[in-house]
Chain A
Amino acid sequence: MAKEVKLLAACGAGVNSSHQIKDAVEEEMKKRGHNVHVDAVMIKDVNEDMLNHYDAYLTIAKTDLAFEPKIPLIEAGPILYRIPAMAQPVYDKVEEVVKKVETE
């Protein structure tokens, strides 16, 4: 089993949009042979401390942060359009980061 990579997704209530992203990314990464776990939370609960526990942050559009994030931010909004062709580039970017973490 590949090394587990932990990603964070966030939305309004940590219930709908972020869960759609979580499910889609986990499923697609599993298909590509990676071991990825995504947590879904409420955006207002995201802070520097929390981000330190993750390898990347899957954002939806522009996200205001009161600090400089140390982990990569990946724009995952297109997953929500429900059109597979538009979600592909997001998955590719996620895989790039995942591969980097796996080789570390």
Chain B
Amino acid sequence: MNAIIDFANAIFKPLIDMGAPTIMLVVLTIIALCFKVKFSKALEGGMKLAIALTAIGDIMNLLTTSFAPAMNQFVKNTGMHKDIMDMGWAPLATITWGSPYTLYFLLVLIILNVLMLIFKRTNTLDVDIFDVWHSAFVGLFAVFCGAPLWLATLLILLIGYLKIVNSDLMKPTFDDLLDAPSSNPMTTTHMNYMMNPVIMVFNKFFDKFLPWLDKYDFDSAKLNEKIGFWGSRFAIGVYLGIFVSLLAGYNFTTEQGWKTMFTLSFTAGACIELFSVIGSWFIASVEPLSQGISNFATSKFKGRTFNVGLDWPFIAGRAEIWAAANVLAPIMMIEAMVIPGNRMMPLGGIIAMGVTPALLVVTRGKIIRMIVIGTIELPIFLWAGTLVAPFVTQVAHQVGANIPAHALVSDTTMEGPIEKFLGYLVGNAWKHQGMFIIYAILAIAAYILIFWWYSTEMKKRNAKYAAAAKEA
């Protein structure tokens, strides 16, 4: 036994010492080869992931280092404890893909999906391989909080199961929102839609008590057209630089004060733009593997037609998603400043793409409801982002980002905030036992119950769609 471990160590130890980008270059290339991807394509993917990891680390370093003094001043000046910088989703996705365990969770979830298809528990084949990072993130966070891998895996299997069930439940609504026939195969297992049950509770409340609010719905496309460049990523980066500089109390009677403000603003704008550029390399890196897995899965189910689980933006054409995100951005800024327990300063995640698609699906495009319910649920995202910050920062260090000491990074609008709390409770239940075990069990029971209630509501909705289709 010892000989085997020594042998494994002799091979793997030097590789692990090379750091995350090198590990992932090797691991991703090998896994892609296992799914019969051509060697040159597999290596191209592995290399792109390695450079994306390296680049994202460097940009996070640049952003946090240039903002660290201003943020310290900000905290001193205002007494507001905002020491976590919001990176948005791209860096978090990249560093989560920097862990080989993400590939482990991917394999577990593929097996789950295939089993569910075989036993006819679903009609959705998930080809959105890239977004497995949301689930892997929760699993890794549970492990970080103290859970053993098997327990984290069980949690991910539960969440993964419900996600796939949810994709079937939402399918008729997508057809409705897209004006598509039911032969349209597009649906999604994206984690942001796991907020649907909670949103459904509020939506029910609107149905019962505030239905008159719906008549104030406005034309979302026109609003977005008016906002135009003012709501673009880099513009928001620039506003944040100005905002932080003002509250940091820089002396604007001196040239230095102005210069520092402009430098900060342009650095923020540049970093946010670069995050998405690098994000696109890293998604391209997973592309050969995604195609390989899809080919493999479809070849196993010849002759059966399914729905295809995609990344969420096939409904990004609906203007309400962006109108709600535009309106929620300043609201989130205010909430972030006043809500107790939030330590995050919004920046990269301020365009709430991890929040608004679920609002669209549940309310079916009632924009006022989307904004009001969004305002109510945003604090959950802020608290979840604050909760995971130590974990995100540690993983960022592992991929080689030199984030200054005492600076923390996270994401304000990361999909699946409730799942983060579950990961936290499950991890702590294992580590500290006692009351945490009861909290974890209660939380998971509540999570399943509210999903069950939501699924009955969705089934009622889907029955109405089916009846309408029959009449037509």
User: Which residues of A line the B interface, CB within 8 A?
Assistant: 10-20, 23, 40, 42-45, 47, 59-67, 77, 80-83
Contacts and interface: CB of A to CB of B under 8 A. Distances in A.
B72 interface: no
B67 interface: no
A11 B319 contact: no
Interface of B: 89-90, 127, 130, 177-180, 184-186, 219-222, 224-225, 228, 231-233, 276, 279-280, 283-284, 287, 290-291, 294-295, 298, 308, 310-319, 322, 325-326, 351, 353
Given A77-B314, A82-B294, A45 B232 contact: yes
Majority DSSP secondary structure for residues of B touching A:
helix
A51 to B, nearest CB: 12
Contacts of B222: 66
18 contacts: A11-B311, A12-B313, A15-B279, A19-B280, A19-B284, A20-B287, A43-B316, A44-B231, A44-B326, A45-B232, A59-B317, A60-B313, A66-B219, A66-B221, A67-B225, A82-B290, A83-B294, A83-B298
Nearest to B233: A42
Given A60-B316, A61-B317, A82-B290, A12 B225 contact: no
Contacts of A14: 276, 280
A16 B313 contact: yes
Given A44-B231, A66-B221, 7 more contacts: A19-B284, A61-B186, A64-B221, A64-B319, A66-B219, A81-B186, A82-B308
Nearest to A18: B313
Contact of B317 (A23, A45, A60, A83): A60
B231 A82 contact: no
Contacts of B311: 11-12, 16-17, 80
Contacts of A44: 224, 231-232, 322, 325-326, 351
Given A61-B317, A64-B318, A83-B298, A15 B225 contact: no
Contacts, number: 111
Nearest to B310: A80
Contacts of A19: 280, 283-284
Contacts of A80: 127, 186, 308, 310-311, 314
Contacts of B276: 13-15, 42
A42 B234 CA distance: 13
Closest 6 CB pairs of A and B: A63-B317, A12-B313, A64-B319, A66-B225, A82-B294, A11-B313
Contacts of B317: 43, 59-64
Nearest to B292: A82
A13 B127 contact: no
Contacts of A82: 127, 290-291, 294-295, 298, 308
Nearest to A11: B313
B45 to A, nearest CB: 12
Given A12-B313, A43-B317, A77-B314, A23 B221 contact: no
A64 B310 CA distance: 20
Contacts of B308: 80-83
Nearest to B357: A12
Contacts of B186: 61, 77, 80-81
B313 A62 contact: no
B328 to A, nearest CB: 13
A37 to B, nearest CB: 15
Contacts of B90: 13, 15
A64 B220 contact: yes
Given A16-B130, A77-B186, A62 B221 contact: no
Residue with the highest number of chain A CB atoms closer than 10 Å, among B185, B279, B311: B311
Contacts of B310: 17, 80-81
Given A81-B127, A81-B185, A61 B225 contact: no
A44 B290 CA distance: 26
B353 A15 contact: no
A47 B226 CA distance: 10
Nearest to B130: A16
Contacts of B319: 64, 66
Contact of B287 (A12, A23, A63): A23
A66 B179 contact: no
A18 B276 CA distance: 13
Nearest to B177: A62
B225 A17 contact: no
A45 B319 CA distance: 12
Contact of B178 (A47, A62, A81): A62
Nearest to B290: A82
Contacts of A42: 233, 276
Given A13-B353, A83-B298, A40 B316 contact: no
